[in-house]
Amino acid sequence: MKTLSQLSQDLATGKTTAEKLVQECLARIADPSGEGARAFIKVYADSALAEAQASDAARRAGRVASPLAGIPISVKDLFDIGGEVTRAGSVILADAQPAASDAPAIARLRAAGAILIGRTNMTEFAYGANGMNQHYGTPLNPWDRASRRIPGGSTSGGAVSVTDGMAAATIGSDTGGSVRIPSALCGITGLKPTQRRVPLEGAFPLSFTRDSIGPLGSSVGCCAWLDAAMSGEPIATPAARPLRGQRFGVPKTILLDGLASEVSTSFARALTSLSAAGASIEEFEFAELARERDGSLRANFSAVEAYALHRERLATSAGKFDRRVALRLMAGAEMKAADYVDLLKLRADLMASADRTTARFDALLAPTVPVIAPTIVEMDSSDEVFFRNNGLLLRNCAPFNVLDRPALSLPCHRTGDAPVGLMVIGETMGDNRLLALGQSIELALSTNR
């Protein structure tokens, strides 16, 4: 996988063309032995080629919209594209009204010259961390396709589109880890930004309290470029911050419990690499995480807010939903309004308290996901196993949506091993500082892979 910076340089020097990049992506999508049919819900073959030809002509004339110009990317099926129905990985919305215009995040990427190669598969209505979809199939994890492992979700097709070279990068959403989880399980990089930095309009919601829009790519720099474009900032690679003297906190509360051996080994090795680079690492109790867990057991933002959104569809057309998605949605009907109000108050308190607790650190470190990717057979063995594993996949990521902290997931496993993500968590609205740190962490980890 080439980075966006490398592709941009190749385009600038004439080593490749936008048309060639698009043709290569389309060939991989169409490969009958590949995952294109499961990774994509819709492919923009004709329009992508036309846009690529126009981009090449503009470049020859000296007009280049941005460093992203001419680079093919994919977008999750929950984003509005003008003139198209936004299905959000469902079949129940097939007859909905087409979107009047592109979602602002997508419009900004188009304005920067990025080329949309297609809409990617996802867990229905983004409600699940596993990446499975009974309507459109489940794209297989690139690490161990023989065992048919899940890709993670809900941005499942997007992650696989990047690992398999069907897109140079992708745009997803993250409500409880839906960017970071597939990034970790598939061995790529993903960013959950501070929520308000990227406009949510035109992205089909799951939880208006916790939703955010973020990129997945092959490097921290890729994520930084796409995040900058979507947030309306100048597109540039952040200057790396030296690791020597940086203070990293490792929360002992919940996030290190019951790690799979592969995750524990890779995480420990990552900490050793960062320490060797001069960073100081301190384990600490993060009591706010336990308070968040306890509060979310009584009422859960996603459950309540998603049920409110889908309750009429559930009442009239429940059979058109993925059965397990419907079960999770219906759980919101049992939650009490008073508990939801308490959760809103708790969130405000936790955000302020967590800021004080972590103020002495430059960033926090944790495994993105406590387990490696389960197999589809295991996930389908029973509802009990399915929901237990889904909860484990979400466990480490979801609290930072409640706290509204930006968070990166970077691969920290050795080549050939099961993919494992290192989550690097910053301060609210400290996204650019986090990305600068991420650049240095990425380099330190790459020497040990």
Quote the CA–CA distance of 266 and 95 in Å, as a whole number: 46
Tell me the Ramachandran region of residue 429: left when phi exceeds 0, alpha when psi lies from -120 to 50, beta otherwise: left
Q: Is residue 132 part of a domain?
A: yes
Q: Provide the angle, in degrees to the nearest 10, between the axes of the packed helices 323-331 and 383-395.
A: 60
> What is the domain count for the chain?
1
- Residue 9 lies in domain: 4-231
Q: Is residue 98 part of a domain?
A: yes
The catalytic residues are 76, 154, 178
pLDDT at residue 447 in the model: 79
The alpha carbons of the chain give a radius of gyration, in whole angstroms, of: 21
Quote the CA–CA distance of 24 and 173 in Å, as a whole number: 26
267-272, long-range: CB within 8 Å, 24+ apart, which pairs? 267/366, 267/367, 267/412, 267/420, 267/422, 269/412, 269/414, 269/448, 270/365, 270/412, 270/422, 270/445, 270/448, 271/365
Q: Is residue 140 part of a domain?
A: yes
Q: Provide the angle, in degrees to the nearest 10, between the axes of the packed helices 220-231 and 104-111.
A: 110
Q: Is residue 266 part of a domain?
A: no
Q: Is residue 345 part of a domain?
A: no
Q: Is residue 221 part of a domain?
A: yes
pLDDT tens digits along 27-64: 999 999 999 999 999 999 999 999 999 999 999 999 99
Q: Is residue 418 part of a domain?
A: no
Phi/psi of residue 77, nearest 5 degrees: -65, -5
Cβ neighbours of residue 320 under 8 Å, at least 6 residues apart? Answer: 90, 91, 92, 313
SS3 191: strand
Q: Is residue 80 part of a domain?
A: yes
Quote the CA–CA distance of 125 and 102 in Å, as a whole number: 19
Residue 175 corresponds to which tokens in the numbers above?
Answer: 């409500």
pLDDT at residue 144 in the model: 96
Q: Which helix (H) or strand (E) holds 363?
A: strand 363-367
> Amino acid identity, residue 205?
P
Quote the CA–CA distance of 386 and 420 in Å, as a whole number: 20
Total H helices, total E strands in the chain: 17, 11
pLDDT at residue 127 in the model: 98
Q: What is the pLDDT along the chain (449 residues), one digit of tens a residue?
A: 899 999 999 999 999 999 999 999 999 999 999 999 999 999 999 999 999 999 999 999 999 999 999 999 999 999 999 999 999 999 999 999 999 999 999 999 999 999 999 999 999 999 999 999 999 999 999 999 999 999 999 999 999 999 999 999 999 999 999 999 999 999 999 999 999 999 999 999 999 999 999 999 999 999 999 999 999 999 999 999 999 999 999 999 999 999 999 999 999 999 999 999 999 999 999 999 999 999 999 999 999 999 999 999 999 999 999 999 999 999 999 999 999 999 999 999 999 999 999 999 999 999 999 999 999 999 999 999 999 999 999 999 999 999 999 999 999 999 999 999 999 999 999 999 999 999 999 999 997 77
Kindly compute the dihedral angle of the four CA atoms of residues 333, 339, 345, 348, in this order, to the nearest 10 degrees: -60
Instruction: State the CATH number of the domain containing residue 92.
Output: 3.90.1300.10
